[in-house]
Amino acid sequence: MKPAEINVTVDGARRKSADLPAPVRQAVEQAIVANRGRPGALMPILHAVQEALGHVPPDALALIAQGLNLTRAEAHGVATFYPHFRSAPPGRTVVRICRAEACQALGARALEAHAKQTLGIDFHETTGDGAITLEPVYCLGNCGCGPSLLVGHDELHARVTPAAFDELIKTARAAT
């Protein structure tokens, strides 16, 4: 069932939900339809919307809240509590560095420092050219071969040195 027409505030302006971008409406409607009956539906819906759009835009939160009979403050509170959920689109490539214990024992902290310094950004930030978003992750299932990192959704790299990191970034930039 589609959420009913509602008024939402986007960039300070009152708008009808029907006026929101079609991809946002579609992503939210599909996520709500797929998860509405589940206990704790908000989390899987947020995940589904981020998977579809790359982030959870503020106007999507208004629709999600309406669809689940939550207040906007409740939906906003959950979405902003978890750093995993982005409120803005990510860079063209998302690089996730493992910060869990086994990788830390194998040099992940030095890799993390190198990544932040060379990219000029912190975790959850995107380079000025929009190419790279840097995010932390807590175990990639590659614990014996750390430091590990993931490029995009499925490109796992093991025993990543600072020099190897620089090469990966160069390749990612060239590919996008």
Binding mask 61-100 for ligand FES (x = CB under 6 A): -------------------------------------x-x
Measured from the CB atom, the residue of 21 and 144 that comes closer to ligand FES is: 144
164 near ligand FES, judged by CB under 6 A: no
Using CB under 6 A as the binding rule, whether residue 56 contacts ligand FES is answered as: no
Using the rule CB under 6 A, which residue among 33, 43, 70, 139 binds ligand FES?
139
Q: Does 143 bind ligand FES (CB under 6 A)?
A: yes
Whole-angstrom distance, CA of residue 141 vs CA of residue 38? 28
The sheet with strand 125-126 has its strands ordered as 125-126, 132-137, 93-98, 149-151, 155-157
Selected range binding ligand FES among 33-41, 51-59, 121-129, 140-148, rule: CB under 6 A = 140-148
Residue 45, amino acid: I
Does 158 participate in binding ligand FES (rule CB under 6 A)? no
**115 belongs to the binding site for ligand FES (CB under 6 A):** no
Contact residue for ligand FES among 61, 114, 148, 168 (CB under 6 A): 148
Instruction: Kindly give the residue spans of alpha helices, DSSP state H, lying in the chain.
Output: 22-35, 42-53, 58-67, 72-81, 101-105, 108-119, 162-175
58 SS3 class: helix
Q: How many residues belong to the chain?
A: 176
- Tell me how far apart the alpha carbons of residues 112 and 32 are, in angstroms, rounded to a whole number: 37
Return residues touching ligand FES (CB under 6 A). 98, 100, 102-103, 139-143, 146, 148
